[in-house]
């Protein structure tokens, strides 16, 4: 723990905060644009997915595997990395299972769909569950940004940017129904803005839980687990959502360009 400078810890927390508060950007888009730009959203979500896939498999999991092999030997180290990776996937699956789909903020909808009476009628009685669902889902994302940026600030910045893109349509999902239920833009924005605070809370939880035990072994296990979490988020949420916007090829172009940009950024 003493090997990590305080400035790097603060930087990691600020990155996580910035990624989480991108939900507020989603609110602004919802309030100032009458229709969703499907091509842009499809490309942006694909790009975000490409970044997260490349970082997870080419960097986090690879580094964790090499680090654990150095510590435990070839086969035990490789098995430990695999176990942590799929453990992260299982954790993300469990969290997703705990949240009903009709209250799930990651079941993102377009601005047009949110303008329907059905959503207007539901939001007042389901607002508490909605906010809880946001917090549950954003918690591991905050941990992912924080842990990765502790090891490599540049990698953490890339992951934070990818998750921020992912959080923009989530902000639309949270804020627009509240606005149509209450007629209060300020209240809707504040709900959306506050929902993003779950990510820095996840980062703080990760720090307070793991800091007393932080070691090279634990960091490598966390890297592999974070890779699993991000792979699940990408395949379960980002890519299906990009497809739902009806722009298949644009979303695939986004994935490829996201991976290419990430690969080049790690070289230079």
Q: What does the pLDDT look like over 216-249, one tens digit per residue?
A: 898 899 889 989 988 988 888 778 877 776 667 8
**pLDDT mean over 80-92:** 94
Mean pLDDT comparison of 94-98, 115-119, 228-232, highest-scoring range: 228-232
For the cut 60, the answer to whether the pLDDT of residue 124 exceeds it is: no
Report pLDDT digits (tens) over 148-164. Answer: 888 788 888 888 888 88
Structure-derived torsion over alpha carbons of residues 128, 133, 138, 143, reported in degrees to the nearest 10: 100
* 74 compared with 198, residue with greater pLDDT: 74
Considering the chain, what is the average pLDDT of its residues? 77
pLDDT (0 to 100) of residue 133:
59
- Mean pLDDT on 172-201: 75
Distance CA 109, CA 257 (A): 25
CA 63/CA 234 separation, integer angstroms = 20
Confidence bin at 126 (pLDDT 50/70/90): very low
What is the distance between the alpha carbons of residues 143 and 118, in angstroms, rounded to a whole number?
35
Confidence band, pLDDT 50/70/90 cuts, at residue 257? very high
Q: What is the mean pLDDT of residues 76-105?
A: 82
- Indicate left, alpha or beta for 82 from its phi (over 0: left) and psi (-120 to 50: alpha): alpha
What integer is the mean pLDDT of 171-189? Answer: 71
| CA dihedral of residues 70, 75, 76, 77 (deg, nearest 10) | 40
Eight-state DSSP code of residue 74: H
Pick the range with the lowest mean pLDDT from 52-61, 116-125, 244-253, 255-264. 116-125
Report if pTM > 0.75: no
104 contact partners, CB below 8 Å, separation of at least 6? 96, 133, 137
pLDDT over threshold 60, residue 14: yes
Residue 73 has pLDDT above 90, yes or no: yes
From CA 265, how far away is CA 267, in angstroms rounded? 5
Mean pLDDT across the stretch 87-106?
72
Tell me the pLDDT tens digit for each residue of 19-65.
888 878 877 766 665 555 677 777 877 888 888 898 889 888 998 99
Tell me what pLDDT residue 125 has.
45
Give 83's contacts (C-beta < 8 A, 6+ positions apart).
Answer: none
Most confident segment among 168-182, 190-204, 222-236:
222-236
Whether the pLDDT of residue 210 is over 90: the answer is no
- Of the two residues 68 and 234, the one the predictor is more confident about is 68
Confidence band of 66 (pLDDT split at 50, 70, 90) = very high
């Amino acid at each position: 723990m003493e090997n990590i400078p305080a400035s790097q810890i603060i930087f990691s927390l600020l990155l996580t905060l910035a990624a989480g508060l991108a939900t507020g950007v989603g609110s602004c888009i919802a309030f100032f644009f009458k229709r969703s730009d499907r091509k842009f959203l499809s490309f942006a979500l694909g790009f975000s997915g490409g970044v997260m896939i490349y970082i997870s498999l080419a960097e986090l999991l690879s580094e964790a595997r090499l680090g654990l092999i150095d510590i435990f030997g070839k086969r035990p180290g490789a098995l430990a990395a695999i176990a942590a990776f799929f453990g992260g996937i299982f954790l993300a699956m469990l969290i997703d299972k705990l949240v009903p789909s009709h209250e799930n903020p990651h079941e993102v909808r377009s601005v047009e769909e949110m303008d329907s009476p059905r959503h207007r009628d539901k939001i007042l009685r389901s607002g508490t569950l909605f906010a809880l669902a946001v917090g549950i889902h954003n918690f591991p994302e905050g941990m992912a940004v924080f842990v990765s940026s502790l090891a490599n600030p540049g990698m953490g910045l890339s992951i934070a940017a990818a998750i921020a893109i992912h959080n923009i349509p989530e902000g639309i999902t949270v804020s627009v129904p509240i606005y149509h239920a209450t007629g209060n833009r300020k209240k809707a924005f504040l709900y959306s803005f506050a929902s993003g605070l779950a990510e820095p809370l996840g980062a703080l939880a990760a720090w307070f839980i793991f800091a007393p035990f932080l070691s090279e072994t634990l960091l490598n296990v966390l890297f592999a687990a974070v890779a699993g979490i991000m792979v699940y988020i990408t395949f379960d949420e980002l890519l299906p959502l990009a497809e739902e916007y009806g722009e298949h090829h644009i979303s695939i172009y986004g994935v490829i360009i996201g991976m290419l940009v990430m690969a080049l950024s790690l070289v230079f």
